[in-house]
Amino acid sequence: MVACIEGRNVSLTFRPPNRGPVRALQGFDIDVQDGEFLSIVGPSGCGKSTFLNVVLGLIKADSGDVLMRGKPIAGPGTDRAMVFQEFGLLPWRTVLNNIELGLELKGVPAGQRRDVSQRFVQMVGLSGFEGHYPHELSGGMKQRVGLARALATDPDVLLMDEPFAALDAQTRDVMQVELLRIWHEAKKTVLFVTHQIEEAIYLSDRVMVMTKRPGHAKKIFAIDLPRPRDYEMRVTPEFNELKLQIWHALKDEITV
Instruction: Identify the CATH number of the domain in which residue 209 sits.
Output: 3.40.50.300
pLDDT of residue 256: 59
- Give the residue from 35, 85, 1, 14 showing the smallest Cα distance to 191: 35
Burial 88-103, CB ≥16 within 10 A → b, else e:
ebeeebbbbbbbbbbb
Mean pLDDT of all residues in 170-177: 89
103 occurs within a structural domain: no
| Predicted pLDDT of residue 85 | 76
pLDDT-above-70 percentage for the chain: 98
Q: At what angle do helices 169-186 and 139-152 cross, to 10 degrees?
A: 20
Please name the helix (run of DSSP H) or strand (run of DSSP E) that holds residue 33, with its range, or none: none
Residue 39 near residue 204, CB atoms below 8 Å: yes
In a domain, 166, yes or no: no
Do β-strands 157-161 and 22-32 pair in parallel, antiparallel, or remain unpaired?
unpaired
Distances, alpha carbon 24 to alpha carbons 29, 73, 160, 174, in Å: 14, 19, 19, 33
Average pLDDT, the chain: 92
Tell me, yes or no, whether 217 lies in a domain.
yes
User: Does some domain include residue 99?
Assistant: no
- Which ranges of the chain does DSSP label H, i.e. alpha helix? 48-56, 95-99, 101-105, 110-123, 139-152, 169-186, 197-203, 237-251
Tell me the mean pLDDT in the region 2-28. Answer: 93
Average pLDDT over residues 119-145: 92
- Of 73, 21, 74, 83, the residue nearest 49 (C-alpha): 83
Judge whether residue 216 has pLDDT over 80: yes
Q: Answer yes or no: are the C-beta atoms of 246 and 201 closer than 8 Å.
A: yes
Residue 175 lies in a domain: no
pTM of the model: 0.92
User: In a 10 Å sphere around its CB, with 0-12 CB exposed, 13-18 middle and 19+ buried, how is residue 233 labelled?
Assistant: middle
Rounded Cα distance between 113 and 102, Å, is: 9
Q: What is the pLDDT of residues 38-88, one digit of tens each?
A: 999 999 989 999 999 999 999 999 999 999 999 999 899 989 999 987 778
Question: Which residues constitute the domain of residue 220?
Answer: 1-76+189-256
Task: Give the integer Cα–Cα distance in Å for 209 and 211.
Answer: 7
Residue 133 lies in a domain: no
Residue 68, domain member (yes or no): yes
Asked if residue 215 is part of any domain, the answer here is yes
Number of structural domains, the chain?
Answer: 1
Q: Phi/psi zone of residue 178: left (φ > 0), alpha (ψ -120 to 50 degrees), beta?
A: alpha
